[in-house]
Amino acid sequence: MTYFLDDIDKKILKILQEDARTPFSKIAKMLNLSESTIHIRIKRLKENGVIKGFYVDVDPEKIGYNVIAFVLIKADPKKYEQILKKIYEFKEVYEIFDVTGEYYALLKVRVKSREELATILDKIGNMEGVTSTYTMFVLRTIKEMKTIDFS
Amino acid sequence: MTYFLDDIDKKILKILQEDARTPFSKIAKMLNLSESTIHIRIKRLKENGVIKGFYVDVDPEKIGYNVIAFVLIKADPKKYEQILKKIYEFKEVYEIFDVTGEYYALLKVRVKSREELATILDKIGNMEGVTSTYTMFVLRTIKEMKTIDFS
DNA sequence: GATGAAATAAATCCAGA
DNA sequence: TCTGGATTTATTTCATC
């Protein structure tokens, strides 16, 4: 299931991770290959699911989304999957992970204000089957990398 | 400091968040505007820092990066900033946040194997000034959104 | 697999509304 | 701020190595 990346693939991905709009011609020059080869490689990486897509990176802070919180939840095991499905639909919840330890799941929540955060936390805390929550409010973002470092 | 997005900006960003390679001509048609307008808008969004860049979305799992863990750390306040600087340099640590609560910082770690994770956890746990750590190993990724939902 | 040239399509620039 | 047309640049295809 794991796709083996050769050196050329890695170099192409590295360039695209820095700027996905880099023209193929420029990539070709950088790697001393033809434009067609870059084209074929990228096409293959897409077909194999390595490249899931191209997205624009919007600065959340610039558009007012500057409140982040991580929420740990514990739940009634019988209702857990149902709870996850519901939380999945919340657009304010950007990440959901099952985790080991005292709590069941870890959520990353991003909103525009503390009021909005309070609303979401209430919604989650009051869901049927949620037995306890623990919220960690983010005071400062020190690092938030969105690309993979495979150097 | 917050940049005000009008309806056109929002629509453009929404399209680019889904596929950053959508041709301007297509965006223009979708929004009933000229290609030049789209061009000017995107340029302005870049200049104002709303658009931080265009990235390729690489599936970590496809290339073998399928171990994620969240690590909470407590530290000697006097050495805390120094510790953060050091951890910042770890390529395996993708996110670092100062958080409220019992712990000082929350880290998101992504590696290729449990062995690698153990190594990183050891490194962090043994850093001078780190007084305690709590690791949550990710068993399942339920949601991991990289774009912002401003609908 | 990789290439180069040809065809198609897109991005960019600019003068004018 | 937006537009339409002209120019430049990029992507895609395909026959060939």
Per-residue pLDDT of B59-77, as tens digits, reads 999 999 999 999 999 999 9
User: Which stretch of DSSP H or E encloses residue A12?
Assistant: helix A7-18
Residue type, A120: I
Residues of A in contact with B141 (CB under 8 A): 96-97
Count CB atoms within 10 A of the CB of residue B122.
10
Q: Does strand C come within 7 Å of the CB of A33?
A: yes
CA atoms within 13 A on the CB side of A146: 22
According to DSSP, residue A112 is labeled S
Residue type, A107: L
Phi, psi at B3, each rounded to 5°: -90, 130
Q: Does strand C come within 7 Å of the CB of A34?
A: yes
User: Per-residue pLDDT averaged across A129-146, rounded?
Assistant: 98
Residues of A in contact with B56 (CB under 8 A): 13, 16-17, 20, 51, 53-54, 147
Model pLDDT for residues B92-122, shown as the tens digit of each residue: 999 999 999 999 999 999 999 999 999 999 9
Strand C nucleotides in reach of protein CB atoms, 7 A cut-off: 1-5, 9-15
In whole angstroms, give the CA distance from residue B133 to residue B121.
Answer: 9
Residue B87 banded pLDDT, cuts 50, 70, 90: very high
Prediction pTM value: 0.95
Residues of B in contact with A149 (CB under 8 A): 91-92
Q: Does strand D come within 7 Å of the CB of A39?
A: yes
Query: What nucleotide is nearest B22 when CA is compared to C1'?
Result: C10
pLDDT at B117 (0 to 100)? 98
pLDDT at A119 (0 to 100)? 98
User: Per-residue pLDDT averaged across B7-18, rounded?
Assistant: 96
Residue A96 banded pLDDT, cuts 50, 70, 90: very high
> Which residue reads 């909103």 in tokens?
A111
